[in-house]
Structure 1
């Protein structure tokens, strides 16, 4: 899962990035509303975490702009303002939820899962494709009822594919999920991680679409 974090407090942002990436999320960070709009326009994200007060002003116009062009991107707002009018304004602008600062990363992560369940019309934190199951709460994987140990990168990539069933995800997007904007791939290429996932599950689980990218594939597809 790929998160766009928009937060100008460097210490808070660094803490959130570190904590969320330990929980198998890929987090990209920017510090202003302008940067957020550019990132949302140019890249695919599963959710945005947006600070309400940014260096270039309140982020309410950012939310409204995104809602006018991208109806499906879930938005979780962070705010230190515990006022009813502020909460109403945030929700009326189009945000899906908000969290009051200071906040624990466990609450943020739980609210992210709730938002995604609602957007994907799921009742549980389980992603299921035939015999393949990812538990997003426990960060566990099973295939044909057997536990599968995935590295952090493998879990990230498989989760991204399972969050978009039947959709071809471009190689560029999967590279960004794998290594992030900074391009740190820990010496392993995207192809190596895809190969390892297939080896630990089955060769048919991930289909390579030549010239385009990758997609999740069930065993009964031609």
Structure 2
């Protein structure tokens, strides 16, 4: 999942980036409102972590601006301002959650997973699709009750499809979920990851929508012919 971190403190930012990377989040950093505004317009972000005390103003100003423009990406406000009035102001401006500094990284990860779960309309973290199951906490994938080893990129890609089971995802959207803006991406990298998922989970796990992108296959297609060579 792609996270946009809007934080101007280098120490806090580096700690969050390192901690989230361990949990397979792809994190891009913006240190000002202006950078965050540009990055949201350029990258398909799944969730935003937003600091309030930014060099070019209060982060809540940016949040209000986004909501007025119809930007509905989930936003977690992360700040040292712990007054009840500040928390109320954040929620009224459109924040989906509000976490106080200093914070525990495990709690931050749990809150991000909760935001992603709500955004996809699920009531629990565990995601099931036919005989396929993904546990976002343990980062384990099973098919018909058997664990299936996936690489980090394959796991993140599968999670992107499971978070939006009825949507067609464009190539750019999928690349944003897999790679940060600073990462160099080989032209066939996405195709290779999809090939591997089809080989391990069944040719029908991901459908190609020609000229648009890809979408999650029907639940009954998961696991079928997993040992056969997938068709692209």
Q: Compute the TM-score of the two structures, normalised by the length of structure 2.
A: 0.88
In structure 2, the partner of 1:183 is 183
In structure 1, the partner of 2:136 is 136
Contact 1:7 1:32 (C-alpha < 8 Å) held by counterparts? yes
In structure 2, the partner of 1:196 is 196
CA deviation vs aligned residue, 1:116-157 (integer Å, no higher than 9, x gap): 233333221012221211111211111122111111111111
Give 1:220 shift: 4.7
In structure 2, the partner of 1:211 is 211
Contact 2:44 2:177 (C-alpha < 8 Å) held by counterparts? no
Give 1:187 shift: 10
Moved more, 11-20 or 65-74: 65-74
Distance 1:115 1:208 in 2: 28
Moved more, 90-99 or 124-133: 124-133
SS at 2:207 equivalent: strand
Distance 1:65 1:215 in 2: 31
Kindly indicate whether residue 88 of structure 2 is the aligned counterpart of residue 100 of structure 1. no
In structure 2, the partner of 1:52 is 52
Give 1:17 shift: 1.2
Moved more, 37-46 or 154-163: 37-46
Q: Compute the TM-score of the two structures, normalised by the length of structure 1.
A: 0.92
- Gaps of at least 5 residues in structure 2 are 222-232
Aligned length: 221
Distance 1:53 1:172 in 2: 31
Give 1:5 shift: 0.8
How do residues 61-140 of structure 1 correspond to structure 2 at under 5 angstroms? 61-70=61-70, 72-140=72-140
Kindly indicate whether residue 170 of structure 2 is the aligned counterpart of residue 152 of structure 1. no
SS at 2:87 equivalent: helix
Contact 1:7 1:54 (C-alpha < 8 Å) held by counterparts? yes
In structure 2, the partner of 1:19 is 19
Contact 2:129 2:219 (C-alpha < 8 Å) held by counterparts? no
Distance 2:72 2:131 in 1: 28
Moved more, 51-60 or 204-213: 204-213
Distance 2:33 2:98 in 1: 17
Over 3 Å counting, the alpha-carbon distance change for 1:82 and 1:131 in structure 2 is same
Moved more, 43-52 or 171-180: 171-180
Contact 1:178 1:185 (C-alpha < 8 Å) held by counterparts? no
SS at 2:183 equivalent: coil
- Gaps of at least 5 residues in structure 1 are none
Give 1:186 shift: 8.9
SS at 1:198 equivalent: helix
Give me the CA root mean square deviation.
1.9
